[in-house]
Chains A and B, each alone.
Chain A
Amino acid sequence: MELAVAIAGAAWLGLMATASPCPLATNAAALAFLGRRVGDPRAAVIGGLLFVLAQTLAFAGLAVVLAWGLLSAPVVAATIEQHLNRILGPVLILAGMVLAGLIRPRWSKAFSAERIQRQVGSGWWWAPILGFVLAFAFCPVTAALFFAGLLPLAVKADAPLAIAATFGIAAAAPTTVLALVLSLALHRLGVIAGAIDRWERWAGIVTGTVFILIGIGLALTYVFRVW
């Protein structure tokens, strides 16, 4: 009974994390990325599921590591604040530039410009990578919900894995469902209008633009401390 209450509490905290305006930027990035697969609804669904799975694993792994005392919560929080949030901005800008077709990296024949362009846009592993990275991009509200709300709950109930996994699913699922609804609706409209290819190209540009704008915002906040 106590565990059920704790799991319900974790689900509520996860929903609060996704509904709060604080992580709006990272949620918008996820929404744009997952919703851009206008031409291939099956790939969009698989990408969405992998995104949820990656976020769930990230939160569950972090909670287990902290609950078992393998890492100290203040050290983890400080590392995220001082390092991850600072490099996330420039990384999102570069990813957005590739998605929008502004840069075409030429590393080798095996990684030709077109191939990278195609892979960044469509490789199945990008959704879980994004989910994993964005899970650790804590803003103050999600940090408060995770460190001050979820962790004490997980430790008290002695079930960090189940409780943090519930938090991860509840935090990632609404954005993913919204992205899939958007993607499927655009696909249906695209089929009717016979414009799937054109819409997919535009979806890449829109996603890239969203990434670039969010990256600039994060860089101004965490790197240049403008506000």
Chain B
Amino acid sequence: MLKRILTVVLLAFVFACVIVLILPRGETVPWPADGIPAASQPQTDGIAVYYLHGAKNCPECATIAHFAQAALAAMPPSGRPRFTPIDTAREPRYAAAFAMTVNTLVLVEERAGVVVRWRRLDEVWRWIEDETSFGRNLAATITAFAPGNR
């Protein structure tokens, strides 16, 4: 009897999975030609750090987000980039726009509601061993990315 109940429950769970899998999943059309819409809210011109993550947010991914937020918080308030998490499972167009292969950070320059320039930082995966050097590397990369230093 217990075996039969377990079987029915598991089959119902699999059936529910199949229903969710075949249901249409939101808008996936490409961005308009005039650029990638800025994700930071409220929108202001400047540099932002996007944290792109998929459905599974691993401990190492959480470390990347935590270290990045701490590094940004340590910067002077004037011109401090904003930290903007983006769930690419819900917004797959951002994953495509930034050619994402792994959970990562992307430095972007936002102007008039669109991303005018960006740089993906997959190297953050090599920085996560040490928070201090992570912060130092991220700050140096942001400084090099800033409009005045191009």
Contact = CB atoms under 8 A, between A and B. Distances in A.
B101 A77 contact: yes
B107 to A, nearest CB: 16
A148 interface: yes
Contacts of B53: 140
Given A21-B59, A140-B57, A147-B102, A78 B95 contact: yes
Given A78-B95, A225-B55, A140 B102 contact: yes
Nearest to B128: A144
B7 A140 contact: no
B55 A103 contact: no
A8 interface: no
B95 A86 contact: no
B13 interface: yes
Interface string A70-81: 001110111001
B92 A82 contact: yes
Interface in B47-80: 53-61
Contacts of A148: 101-102, 104, 122-123, 125
A160 to B, nearest CB: 16
A5 interface: no
Nearest to B53: A140
Interface stretch (B14-22, B38-46, B108-116, B134-142): B14-22
B21 A143 contact: no
A224 B20 contact: yes
A22 B62 CA distance: 12
B105 to A, nearest CB: 12
Given A73-B101, A144-B125, A223-B21, A97 B7 contact: yes
Interface residue tally on A, bucketed by range: 35 or more
Contacts of A224: 17, 20
A209 to B, nearest CB: 10
Contact of A22 (B60, B99, B101, B123): B60
B75 to A, nearest CB: 25
Nearest to A97: B10
B144 interface: no
Contacts of A93: 10, 13-14, 17
Interface stretch (A124-132, A183-191, A214-222): A214-222
Contact of B17 (A74, A77, A81, A89): A89
A20 B125 CA distance: 13
Q: Give the 10 A-B residue pairs with the shortest CB-CB distance, closest first.
A: A147-B101, A77-B101, A74-B99, A90-B17, A148-B122, A144-B102, A140-B58, A144-B125, A143-B102, A102-B7
27 contacts: A22-B58, A77-B101, A81-B54, A81-B88, A81-B89, A82-B92, A90-B17, A94-B14, A102-B3, A102-B6, A102-B7, A103-B11, A140-B56, A140-B58, A140-B61, A140-B102, A140-B103, A147-B101, A147-B102, A147-B122, A148-B104, A148-B122, A212-B10, A216-B13, A221-B56, A225-B55, A225-B89
Given A74-B96, A221-B56, 19 more contacts: A81-B54, A81-B88, A90-B21, A93-B10, A97-B7, A102-B7, A140-B56, A140-B58, A140-B102, A140-B103, A141-B60, A148-B123, A149-B125, A216-B13, A219-B17, A222-B55, A223-B17, A223-B21, A224-B20
